Homo-oligomer: A and B are copies of this chain.
Amino acid sequence: MSEQARSVRDFNRYYSQRIGLLTDRYLGQDRPLSEARLLYEIGTGASVRDLRTRLGWDSGYLSRSLRSLEGQGLVQLRAHETDGRVRVAELTAAGTAELAELERRSTAAASELLAPLTVSQRAELIAAQHRTRQLLRLAAVTVEVVEADSAAARHCLTEYAAELSIRFPEGYDTRALVDPAEVSGAGGAFLVGYEQGRPIGCGGIRTLGPGTAELCHLWVHGDARGLGLGRRLLAELERQAVTRSLHTVRLGTHRSLSEAATLYRSAGYHQIPVYGDSPYNQLCFERTLADDVPGKAAPSLDPGGVRLQFAGGRRGG
Looking at A119-127, A200-208, A280-288, the stretch in contact with chain B turns out to be A119-127
A128 adjacent to B125 (CB under 8 Å): no
* Of A5, A104, A117, A123, most B-chain CB atoms within 10 Å: A5
Q: How far is the CA of A122 from the CA of B138 in the complex (A)?
A: 11
Chain B residues within 8 Å of A6, by CB: 107, 110
CB distance from A151 to the nearest CB of B (A): 23
Looking at A74-82, A86-94, A153-161, A295-303, the stretch in contact with chain B turns out to be A295-303
Q: How far is the CA of A104 from the CA of B12 in the complex (A)?
A: 15
A12 adjacent to B22 (CB under 8 Å): yes
The answer to the question of A30 belonging to the interface, with a C-beta cut-off of 8 Å to chain B, is no
Q: Knowing A116-B141, A131-B128, A135-B125 are in contact, say whether A304-B8 is a contact too (CB < 8 A).
A: no
Looking at A60-68, A217-225, A228-236, A247-255, the stretch in contact with chain B turns out to be A228-236
The answer to the question of A133 belonging to the interface, with a C-beta cut-off of 8 Å to chain B, is yes
Copy total for this chain: 2
* B8, B228, B295: the one within 8 Å of A114 (CB): B8
CB distance from A38 to the nearest CB of B (A): 14
A115 adjacent to B301 (CB under 8 Å): yes
B132 adjacent to A132 (CB under 8 Å): yes
The answer to the question of A274 belonging to the interface, with a C-beta cut-off of 8 Å to chain B, is no
The answer to the question of A21 belonging to the interface, with a C-beta cut-off of 8 Å to chain B, is yes
* B107, B132, B142: the one within 8 Å of A129 (CB): B132
